[in-house]
């Protein structure tokens, strides 16, 4: 089953304690597609300018990513610049140049309308809903969002939220969206807004699944050489959704596995700039890191007391 993703495609300039890169490929759609493509065919809806590197488009094609929905228009590609501090937990946005992304009005090619798995990456919530409305029979829909939309377009955001199966956000966004300091209690408030499940990305502490009846927590895989956290969240979502699409199984047990696969992919992502590290993985490498994560949470019941 293929996965449809709508979001940003950008050229990023990123500085971390490890180094600096200029105009490298980035954006939620890019990271998501690259990660998801290991598990399932991916369909992109996005927009770039004529300056977008041809080689990156060829790379996505080579990974079987369907680019029918990618518009290449006159003008410059969306650009983002950021700088990370010593511990890489926090960053400053240095600039945001929307360029051709400013007028992005995502339209689905007719061939995409039968998509069953949909990821609405972090864009304006009414555009997310607009995309979802163009899908005929979505089976499993996940979305991301950010503080900017929570603060400025809350009612639109809630309309989209009411239509999705899974919300994937970070702990701070849970607090902002719910008004609750406690992340678990906040997530439970958000569950009442529509989604059946919430995955909270907690950075170095891993990721947490919260449903009305269960909690699951997988730690972050401890990478030896953290290079650049940019895109880790979208790579996580790509691994998660790709695995769900591959297995066509939305059971809680499989959602847990999907989150561990997402964490495995994200742990590769942060080992290099841009999508460099996740461009050429093998399924065996991904599986080994998945099993490594499982080993970090393995514990049996032992004898009754």
DSSP class per residue in the chain: --EEEE---EEEEEEETTEEEEEEEESHHHHHHHHHTTTS-EEEEEEEETTS-HHHHHHHHHTTEEEEEEEEESSPPPEEEEEE-TTSS-EEEEEEE-GGGGG------GGGTT-SEEEE-SS-HHHHHHHHHT-SS-SEEEE---HHHHHH-HHHHHHHHTT-SEEEEEHHHHHHHH--SSHHHHHHHHHTTS-SEEEEE-GGG-EEEE-SS-EEEEPPP--SS----TTHHHHHHHHHHHHHHHHT--SHHHHHHHHHHHHHHHHHHTTSSTTGGGSS--HHHHHHHHHHHHHTT-----S--
Kindly state whether residue 225 participates in binding its own copies, applying the rule CB under 8 A: no
Shortest Cβ distance from residue 37 to its own copies (Å)?
Answer: 13
In whole angstroms, the minimum distance from the beta carbon of 140 to its own copies comes to: 17
Which lies closer to its own copies via its Cβ, residue 126 or residue 249? 249
Looking at the Cβ atoms of 79 and 257, the one nearer to its own copies is 257
- Contacts to its own copies from residues 247-266, by CB under 8 A: 247, 253-254, 256-257, 260
Q: Which is nearer to its own copies, 84 or 101 (CB)?
A: 84
What part of residues 6-65 is at the interface with its own copies (CB under 8 A)? 39
Q: Is 305 in the site for its own copies (CB under 8 A)?
A: yes
Task: Rule CB under 8 A: say whether 201 interacts with its own copies.
Answer: no
Residue nearer to its own copies on the CB measure, 86 or 105:
86
Residues that bind its own copies (CB under 8 A): 39, 86-87, 181, 184, 202, 205-206, 208, 214-219, 222, 247, 253-254, 256-257, 260, 283-284, 286-287, 290-291, 294-305
């Amino acid at each position: 089953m293929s996965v449809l993703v709508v979001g940003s495609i950008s050229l990023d300039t990123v500085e971390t304690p490890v180094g600096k890169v200029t105009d490298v490929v980035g954006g939620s759609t890019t990271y998501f597609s690259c990660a998801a493509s290991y598990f399932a065919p991916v369909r992109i809806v996005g927009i770039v300018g004529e300056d977008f590197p041809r080689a990156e488009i060829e790379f996505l094609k080579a990974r079987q990513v369907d680019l029918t929905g990618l518009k290449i228009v006159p003008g410059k590609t969306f650009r983002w610049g950021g700088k990370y501090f010593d511990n890489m937990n926090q960053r400053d946005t240095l600039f945001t140049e929307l360029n051709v992304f400013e007028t992005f009005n995502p339209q689905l090619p007719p061939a995409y309308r039968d998509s069953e798995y949909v990821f609405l990456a972090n864009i304006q919530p009414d555009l997310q809903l607009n995309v979802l409305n163009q899908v005929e029979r979505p089976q499993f829909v996940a979305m991301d969002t950010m503080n900017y939309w929570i603060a400025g377009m809350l009612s639109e955001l809630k309309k989209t939220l009411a239509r999705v199966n899974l919300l994937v956000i970070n702990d701070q966004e849970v607090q902002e969206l719910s008004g609750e300091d406690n992340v678990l209690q906040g997530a439970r408030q958000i569950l009442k807004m529509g989604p059946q499940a919430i995955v909270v990305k907690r950075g170095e502490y891993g990721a947490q699944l919260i449903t009305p009846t269960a909690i699951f927590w997988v730690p972050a895989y401890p990478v030896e050489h953290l290079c650049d956290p940019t895109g880790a969240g979208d790579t996580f979502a790509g691994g998660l959704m790709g695995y769900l699409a591959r297995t066509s199984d939305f059971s809680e047990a499989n959602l847990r596995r999907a989150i561990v696969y997402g964490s495995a992919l994200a742990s590769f992502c942060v080992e290099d700039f841009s999508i460099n590290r996740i461009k050429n993985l093998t399924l065996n490498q991904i599986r080994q890191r998945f099993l490594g994560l499982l080993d970090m949470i393995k514990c049996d019941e032992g004898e009754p007391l």
